[in-house]
């Protein structure tokens, strides 16, 4: 049985696409997933499963059937999340205040090059195949280059998590 981390995009933000974490946990359990744990209201779910294919689509469809709206779901293995954290290019001080824009698929080289052409003196980013590492010197609340920016420019679904959330998800995924 493999441990996975499901990252739901855009739930419980500004009163839209509301899903209680207790209900989400129950939904995962009714789909046959084991040892389901949720973390904070932004849609983070750690679970175990023997299934290996199309988990993202299965979860997206189950949410649509139950709630009537579509939620993009990114699935990461624990090893993938560890690798993403270990590749963070920022110094320790910046890393602890950084965000990880997790990409559902690899963006094209052309879209990466075009996106790398953008800059903002208060924001620093590095694009990898599965993640955009972002540091906002003035905080995320003032950011110009957030999740929506990277989704549009890279033309892939994405969802962002901060450093503390990434660490907590790894902690929750330890057996």
pLDDT one-digit tens code per residue, 84-115: 999 999 999 999 999 999 999 999 999 999 99
Show the tokens assigned to 31. Answer: 């789909």
For the chain, the domain total comes to 2
The answer on pLDDT for 135 being more than 80 is yes
- pLDDT at position 98 is 94
Q: Which residues contact 4 (CB under 8 A, 6 or more apart)?
A: 46, 47, 48, 49, 55, 75, 76, 77, 78
Residues spanned by the domain of 58? 2-79
Assess whether 90 and 13 both reside in one domain: no
What is the arithmetic mean of pLDDT over 48-55? 89
Look at residue 54 and give its three-state secondary structure.
Answer: coil
Whether residues 115 and 75 share a domain: the answer is no
Note whether 65 and 88 are same-domain residues. Answer: no
Mean per-residue pLDDT over the chain, rounded: 91
Among the candidates 79, 101, 132, a domain finishes at 79
Determine the straight-line distance between the first and last CA of the chain, rounded to whole angstroms.
Answer: 11
Q: How confident is the model at residue 142 (pLDDT cuts 50, 70, 90)?
A: confident
Strand order in the sheet with 34-39: 34-39, 44-49, 2-8, 73-77
Provide the CA 158 distance to its chain's centre, in angstroms: 7
pLDDT of residue 121: 86
User: Looking at residue 47, what is its pLDDT?
Assistant: 96
């Amino acid at each position: 049985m493999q441990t996975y981390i499901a990252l739901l995009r855009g739930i419980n933000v500004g009163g839209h696409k509301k899903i209680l974490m207790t209900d989400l946990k129950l939904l995962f359990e009714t789909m046959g997933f084991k040892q389901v744990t949720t973390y904070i209201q932004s849609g983070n779910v750690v679970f175990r499963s023997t299934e290996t294919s199309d988990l993202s689509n299965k979860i997206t469809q189950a949410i649509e059937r139950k709630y009537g709206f579509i939620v993009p779901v990114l699935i990461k293995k624990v090893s993938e999340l560890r690798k993403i954290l270990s590749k963070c290019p920022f110094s320790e001080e910046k890393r602890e205040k950084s965000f990880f824009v997790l990409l559902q698929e690899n963006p094209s080289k052309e879209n990466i090059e075009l996106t790398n052409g953008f800059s903002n003196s208060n924001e620093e980013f590095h694009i990898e195949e599965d993640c955009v590492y972002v540091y906002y010197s003035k905080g995320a609340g003032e950011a110009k280059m957030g999740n929506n920016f990277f989704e549009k420019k890279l033309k892939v679904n994405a969802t962002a998590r901060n450093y503390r959330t990434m660490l907590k998800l790894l902690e929750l995924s330890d057996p």
